[in-house]
């Protein structure tokens, strides 16, 4: 046996020899599949590899895994295509100017697809005219990677950032709604379309609704009423509601503010916890409202879930304050058995919380208009995960428990503005950066992506976040009692603990049947496909030596806890927004900030994906992934 073969065997045997504790931890047995798994792993451990192989259960995914690795471009399995649907700077309107990266202006950007696409929603449209498929794509543009987007900025950042650049950034972030159609197997953008619309960080007026609307803490010089905000910041993931509206989650909004709060200001506690001012960008030098010395309340007008009606392009987006204010990753929803709507949201920060919101009223499937303000009334909960595998959803309601004047909560407005502090006082569990959370309507389960936490120490681990210096994150499964998404007492378990299962330093836990390519690190966005299967996109898998990508995850049966590598992006990117069409024949994927790293710039990207043209910077883009034989993706 060669040395290489020995090494290979060592690696493989580690994967095939999980400890009993690990197997129990994965709780495979709870699903009644213990026989199959134990049989396979015990046989393998005893050296009967061929017998173990013969019992290898059938995967629910039918595609050949791609290989781990990193290079300048993207990869899909054999038999699949991945076509660029739309890129930063592409046209949305008949009068959209051609993208010219050396001569960009805010005015041009307002007519073009934005930067750093993240969340993708798909609202199906009528196909009675014979098209294969048609819909409105709802895409978030998360943030500005300034030195990658603008020529000549990297060297003297932030002094090199002019007011004009700030204004272009304000036009480039936010969201895009764009009609797309599939003909002869190919997707394309529809221009003109009455649905095409840009929503921006700086210029789109939005109405504030819910408990914090009109509150003193939201009033500014521009808006003395506290009910109208110009724009939406740092739109990360999001959601599409059962009534077909598009939700944009505002995440790292603190980074855009600079300045200093006046001494003794009411917002000291609030902003300290939120990291305001983050000073990531020099906008406050040029634009007063991003300088908290001048406009101390402006940060309270961001950090919300924003609801947009794709069918009514003339209506103002609404900031739904009842869902609380934090660094919302997303807002995926589900209709509970009794008709109430439940939305899940992670607060993406180390040691912050998992939330859900349950509407007071029920979804009306027969009258869309009746649902349009459902998100203004309901109960916001934060999660406490207990060591015995149970959990409790803790209501954040003014006047109950510690949420009173004694702790400077004077109304529900204060509770939602400082949702983090309210959740802390109620005893919610400090998590390892909760990112996307996806409910599965068929099984009553909810998958929670916890991306990583490099600041957790040995003495502050907890049952649901058990690893100190958790570099690669984990996935938790919530089992809502009796499949009732409104329940307040539920159960939880791990799906996987991410990272390399061959490196004991990380304490990763995967199903022992996971392949060399099937494990990953830093889960971020996820999607449940129309067949109820989980797909996970990563942001930070590069720390494991491979590019970020998408893995299909087994959540049931003997293979529960195995991943399967489906897609990987070009170097420097993160992967966001996986979204299946209702027929499962297309998977839309966001490739965000390709070619980016701390050392790289507009002039010197890691890759010039997807154009590979020396005159073009690397450009974020949405891909449409399909099977060459026109079948369902992954089946």
Interface with Ca ion (CB under 5 A): 236, 436, 524, 539
How many angstroms separate the Cα of 202 from the Cα of each of 137, 257, 348, 486?
Answer: 21, 13, 23, 36
332 binds ligand FEO (CB under 6 A): no
Q: Which residue is nearest to Ca ion (CB)?
A: 539
430 binds, among Ca ion, ligand FEO, none (CB under 5 to 8 A by kind): none
Phi, psi of 539 (to 5 degrees): -140, 90
480 binds, among ligand FEO, Ca ion, none (CB under 5 to 8 A by kind): none
Cα separation, 99 vs 500, whole angstroms: 41
CB of 330 to Ca ion, least distance (A): 6
Q: If residue 39 lies in a helix (H) or strand (E), which one and from where to where?
A: helix 34-45
Sole binder of ligand FEO in the list 90, 295, 329, 418 (CB under 6 A): 329
Question: Residue 209 or 592: which CB sits closer to Ca ion?
Answer: 592
Question: Residue 110 or 248: which CB sits closer to ligand FEO?
Answer: 248
DSSP state of 484: -
571 binds, among Ca ion, ligand FEO, none (CB under 5 to 8 A by kind): none
- The answer to whether 617 touches 101, Cβ cutoff 8 Å, is yes
Question: Residue 324 or 518: which CB sits closer to ligand FEO?
Answer: 324
309 binds, among ligand FEO, Ca ion, none (CB under 5 to 8 A by kind): none
DSSP reduced 3-state for 581: coil
Cα separation, 585 vs 597, whole angstroms: 33
CB of 366 to Ca ion, least distance (A): 27
142 binds, among ligand FEO, Ca ion, none (CB under 5 to 8 A by kind): ligand FEO
CB of 348 to ligand FEO, least distance (A): 4
554 binds, among ligand FEO, Ca ion, none (CB under 5 to 8 A by kind): none
Q: How many residues bind ligand FEO (CB under 6 A)?
A: 7
Which residue bears the tokens 């406009």? 295
Task: Count Cα neighbours of 456 within 13 Å in the Cβ-side half-sphere.
Answer: 27
CB of 396 to ligand FEO, least distance (A): 21
Tell me the residue ranges of DSSP E strands in 338-460.
Answer: 340-346, 354-362, 378-385, 390-395, 434-440, 445-450
Cα separation, 223 vs 212, whole angstroms: 14
432 binds, among ligand FEO, Ca ion, none (CB under 5 to 8 A by kind): none
Question: Of 511-570, which residues contact ligand FEO (CB under 6 A)?
Answer: 524
DSSP state of 412: H
- Rounded to 10 deg, the angle between the 3-16 and 34-45 helix axes is 150
347 binds ligand FEO (CB under 6 A): no
CB of 344 to Ca ion, least distance (A): 10
CB of 236 to ligand FEO, least distance (A): 3
22 binds, among ligand FEO, Ca ion, none (CB under 5 to 8 A by kind): none
Instruction: Show the site string, 99-138: x = touches ligand FEO by CB under 6 A, - = not.
Output: ----------------------------------------
CB of 236 to Ca ion, least distance (A): 5
142 binds ligand FEO (CB under 6 A): yes
Residue of 14, 22, 193 lying closest to 93 (CA atoms): 193
Cβ neighbours of residue 624 under 8 Å, at least 6 residues apart?
82, 83, 85, 187, 586, 587, 588
- The answer to whether 304 touches 280, Cβ cutoff 8 Å, is no
Sole binder of ligand FEO in the list 223, 267, 348, 418 (CB under 6 A): 348
Sole binder of ligand FEO in the list 65, 90, 223, 251 (CB under 6 A): 251
DSSP reduced 3-state for 158: coil
Cα separation, 62 vs 65, whole angstroms: 9
236 binds ligand FEO (CB under 6 A): yes
Question: Residue 391 or 449: which CB sits closer to ligand FEO?
Answer: 449
Cα separation, 626 vs 416, whole angstroms: 42
- The answer to whether 323 touches 268, Cβ cutoff 8 Å, is no
436 binds, among Ca ion, ligand FEO, none (CB under 5 to 8 A by kind): Ca ion
| DSSP β-bridge partners for residue 82 | 625
Sole binder of ligand FEO in the list 267, 295, 332, 435 (CB under 6 A): 435
Please give the residue ranges that form the binding site for ligand FEO (CB under 6 A).
Answer: 142, 236, 251, 329, 348, 435, 524
């Amino acid at each position: 046996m060669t040395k290489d073969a020995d090494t290979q065997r060592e690696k493989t045997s580690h994967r095939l020899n999980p400890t009993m504790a690990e197997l129990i931890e994965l709780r495979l047995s709870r699903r009644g599949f213990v026989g199959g798994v134990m049989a396979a792993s015990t046989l393998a451990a005893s050296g009967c590899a061929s017998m173990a192989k013969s019992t290898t259960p059938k995967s629910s995914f039918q595609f050949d895994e791609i290989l781990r690795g990193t290079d300048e471009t993207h990869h899909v399995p054999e038999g699949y295509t991945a076509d660029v649907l739309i890129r930063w700077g592409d046209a949305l309107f008949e009068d959209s100017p051609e993208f010219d990266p050396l001569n960009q202006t805010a005015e041009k950007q307002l007519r073009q697809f934005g930067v750093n696409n993240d969340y993708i929603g798909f609202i199906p449209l009528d196909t009675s005219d014979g098209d294969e498929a048609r819909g409105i794509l709802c895409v978030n543009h998360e943030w500005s990677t300034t030195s990658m987007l603008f020529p000549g900025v990297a060297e003297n950042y932030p002094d090199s950032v002019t007011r004009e650049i700030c204004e272009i950034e304000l036009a480039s972030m936010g969201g895009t709604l764009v009609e797309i159609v599939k003909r002869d197997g190919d997707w394309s953008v529809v221009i003109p379309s009455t649905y095409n619309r840009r929503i921006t960080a700086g210029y789109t007026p939005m109405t504030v609704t819910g408990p914090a609307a009109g509150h003193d803490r939201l009033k500014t010089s521009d808006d003395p009423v506290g009910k109208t905000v110009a724009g939406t910041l740092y739109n990360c993931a999001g959601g599409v509601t059962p009534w077909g509206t598009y939700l944009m989650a505002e995440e790292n909004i603190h980074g855009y503010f600079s300045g200093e709060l006046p001494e003794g200001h009411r917002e000291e506690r609030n902003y300290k916890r939120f990291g305001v001012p983050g000073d990531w960008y020099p906008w406050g030098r040029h634009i007063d409202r991003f300088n908290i010395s001048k406009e101390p309340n402006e940060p309270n007008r961001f950090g919300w879930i924003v609801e947009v009606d794709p069918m009514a392009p003339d209506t103002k987006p609404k900031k739904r304050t009842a869902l609380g204010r934090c660094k919302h990753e997303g807002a995926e929803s589900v209709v509970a058995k009794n008709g109430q709507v439940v939305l899940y949201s992670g607060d993406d920060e180390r040691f912050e919380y998992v939330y859900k919101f349950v509407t007071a009223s029920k979804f009306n499937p027969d009258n869309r208009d009746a649902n349009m303000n459902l998100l203004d009334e309901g109960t916001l909960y934060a999660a406490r995960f207990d060591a015995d595998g149970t959990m409790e959803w803790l209501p954040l309601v003014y006047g109950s428990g510690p949420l009173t004047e004694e702790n400077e909560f004077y109304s529900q407005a204060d509770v939602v503005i400082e949702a983090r502090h309210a959740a802390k006082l109620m005893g919610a569990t400090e998590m390892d950066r909760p990112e996307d959370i996806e409910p599965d309507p068929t099984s009553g389960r909810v998958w929670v992506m916890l991306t990583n936490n490099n600041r957790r120490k040995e003495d502050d681990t907890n049952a649901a976040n058990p690893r100190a210096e958790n570099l690669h994150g984990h996935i938790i499964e919530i089992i809502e009692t009796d499949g009732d998404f409104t329940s307040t007492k539920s159960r939880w378990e791990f799906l996987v603990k991410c990272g390399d299962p061959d490196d004991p330093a990380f304490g990763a836990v995967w199903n022992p049947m996971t392949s060399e390519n099937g494990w990953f690190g830093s889960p971020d966005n996820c999607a449940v496909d129309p067949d109820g299967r989980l797909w996970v996109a990563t942001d930070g898998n590069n720390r494991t030596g491979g590019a970020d990508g998408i893995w299909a995850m087994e959540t049931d049966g003997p293979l529960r806890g195995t991943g399967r590598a489906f897609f990987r992006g070009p170097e420097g990117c993160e992967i966001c927004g996986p979204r299946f069409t209702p027929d499962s024949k297309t998977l839309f994927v966001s490739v965000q900030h390709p070619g980016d790293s701390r050392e790289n710039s507009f002039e010197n990207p890691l890759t010039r994906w997807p154009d590979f043209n020396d005159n073009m910077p690397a450009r974020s883009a949405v891909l449409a992934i399909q099977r060459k034989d026109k079948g369902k993706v992954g089946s």
